[in-house]
Amino acid sequence: GDLMLITDHLNMVGMGGSNPLFGPNDPTLGPRFPDMSQAYDPDLGRIAQEVAQRHQIPLR
């Protein structure tokens, strides 16, 4: 297989009906749908890309 750098998040488990966000909303627990748009650190992604290039490792 290929090495991949993940830049976005899809909750595949949640798509199968097993999602911890189901049920009544309790505002004391925080946001109903947590923001996942910044789930992965962009600086770490850049470092991973640089290391892969330096070592001639294909990264998708």
Render pLDDT for 3-54 as a digit per residue (tens, 0 to 9).
999 888 877 776 777 777 778 888 898 888 888 888 899 999 999 999 999 9
pTM: 0.62
Strand, coil or helix: 32: coil
pLDDT: which is higher, 56 or 29:
56
The Cα 50–Cα 21 span in angstroms is 36
Distances, alpha carbon 5 to alpha carbons 28, 30, 46, 55, in Å: 35, 29, 10, 15
The pLDDT of residue 39: 87
